[in-house]
Structure 1
């Protein structure tokens, strides 16, 4: 399936370009994602997705196949596999940046293929989830870009280390919202009723 999203960030295009390539800096803005390693071209990590009561973890890599600074265009190919299952996910993500009203407009096209439990929701639900996740990412990215990168004031005394908070999985039903969750619940209930009906008929004919 192909998905298309757009968002803007309040910085010049060159600054936005450098920020989007600084994976370690923007990693906390990626919902459900954990970055384990990044060598400037290949990202290794995982993504957690919650489907009802089940949490699915995909582990894999994402490789920058293209980084055209003059055109402000990047192509990222990502692939992952469930750590406890046969499901897979693969995406080719093409991002282009352009100036807009003193800021930067980011256009993202994603060619996504998903197998396993998340695939049962279909394109409509995944597109709605994608819209909200991209919105969350854009808001987080904008806040980080507005933060100063250099400290001029004296360093603060070291504080005791804080425990690392676990990454929260992407909750498909909660992210999609009540209308979508209701549709999914109706589909699930219909499937359960059909299964019960078939079993009753088999029992009667036994």
Structure 2
């Protein structure tokens, strides 16, 4: 599925560009994400997604295929696999930054492929989840960009980052009850179709 989001941050484009490449700094703004290593091009880590009582953890990597500082364009290819299951997630994310009214507009295009349990929600729900997550990320990023950098001699605190990393991304809480109900209805309908097919098959066997 293809998703498109846009948000703005209240800093010049050069500053926003540097911030988006500072993975350790912005990691706490990514719900459910935990960064284990970053060498300037490849990010290794995991993402925890909670769907009701089920928590799914994807472990994988994200590689910067393109970092065009002149055009302020970046391309990130991420892929992960469930640690306990066969589900996978793959995304090609293209971000473009442009100056706007003294701030920076960030355009994000995502080509996303998901298999496994979260994929059951469908494109509409996943798009709405994306809208809300981008909104949360943009707000958090804006706060970090306008806050003062700590003095050079004082190391940046890490306690808050670790606390955020341990929290899974709760899809039902993010998408809200109305959408969760629609998703539940969809899943129930699918289950009813499967059950009906099984009953028809049994009935046919009895007739034979």
TM-score by length of 2: 0.88
The 2-side partners of 1:127 and 1:179 are apart by 15
How many residue pairs get matched? 200
Q: Unaligned stretches of 5+ in structure 1?
A: 156-160
Q: Deviation of residue 205 (structure 1)?
A: 6.7
Q: Unaligned stretches of 5+ in structure 2?
A: none
Partner of 2:148: helix, strand, or coil? Answer: coil
Map of 1:55-94 to 2, 5 A cutoff? 55-94=55-94
RMSD of the alignment, in Å? 2.3
2:41 corresponds to 1:38: no
TM-score by length of 1: 0.89
The 2-side partners of 1:57 and 1:39 are apart by 23
Q: Which has the higher helix share?
A: 2
Map of 1:10-29 to 2, 5 A cutoff? 10-29=10-29
Map of 1:52-201 to 2, 5 A cutoff? 52-151=52-151, 164-165=162-163, 167-197=166-196
Partner of 1:71: helix, strand, or coil? Answer: coil
* CA spacing shift, 1:164–1:71, aligned 2, 3 Å: closer
Q: Deviation of residue 170 (structure 1)?
A: 1.6
* CA spacing shift, 1:134–1:148, aligned 2, 3 Å: same
2:13, 2:103 within 8 Å by CA — same for their partners in 1? yes
* CA spacing shift, 1:90–1:204, aligned 2, 3 Å: closer
The 1-side partners of 2:39 and 2:162 are apart by 23
Partner of 1:177: helix, strand, or coil? Answer: helix
